[in-house]
């Protein structure tokens, strides 16, 4: 009996999440919850890796930490703006900075902002809803820019 191993190219965009955060505990915790919900998660630890992944794969959702080494979340947003064909349908940024970021991010590039610390289960629920195409899903108030 042969078992079929599903490849990345066989997965639909609707269930593919790119998780970019330099904090391994956030990456592991959020990825575990999303994978348990049946989503395919690609984890990267900085913005350079995120850009490389977006150049080679299609993602429904990008969860992006703004403060990472090498290439920051800010630089990833600039890259997405300059390369719109690679933009995931939903971009959620994670930040520990103050709320002035609400006025500094382009609403065309970013769909939601979540301030650290946050509830991983709540974020995972929102990401899963986005992946499943539930456009009627309303993000928690702290996710809305």
Q: Where do the structural domains in the chain lie, given as residue ranges?
A: 12-133
Q: What is the pLDDT of residues 88-133, one digit of tens each?
A: 999 998 888 766 666 677 778 888 888 878 888 888 888 888 777 7
| SS3 track for the chain | CCCCCCCHHHCCHHHEEEEECCCHHHHHHHHHHHHHCCCEEEEECCHHHHHHHHHHCCCCEEEEECCCCCCCHHHHHHHHHHCHHHCCCEEEEEECCCCCHHHHCCCCCCCEEEECCCCHHHHHHHHHHHHCCCCCCCCCHHHCC
Q: What is the pLDDT of residues 30-77, one digit of tens each?
A: 899 889 888 899 999 999 999 999 999 999 999 999 988 889 999 999
d(CA 129, CA 51): 24
What is the pTM assigned to this prediction? 0.79
Name the CA dihedral angle for 112, 9, 121, 100, rounded to a multiple of 10 degrees.
-20
The CATH architecture one would assign to domain 12-133 is 3-Layer(aba) Sandwich (3.40)
């Amino acid at each position: 009996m042969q078992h079929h191993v599903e490849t990345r190219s066989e997965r639909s965009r609707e269930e593919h999440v790119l998780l970019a955060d330099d904090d391994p505990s956030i990456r592991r915790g959020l990825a575990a919850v999303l994978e348990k919900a049946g989503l395919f998660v690609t984890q990267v630890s900085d913005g350079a890796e995120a850009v490389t992944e977006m150049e080679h794969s299609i993602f429904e959702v990008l969860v992006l930490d703004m403060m990472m080494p090498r290439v920051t979340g800010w630089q990833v947003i600039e890259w997405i703006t300059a390369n719109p064909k690679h933009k995931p349908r939903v971009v959620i940024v994670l930040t520990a900075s103050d709320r002035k970021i609400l006025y500094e991010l382009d609403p065309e590039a970013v769909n939601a902002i979540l301030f650290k610390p946050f509830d991983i289960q709540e974020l995972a629920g929102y990401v899963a809803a986005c992946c499943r195409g539930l456009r009627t899903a309303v993000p928690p108030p702290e996710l809305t820019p």
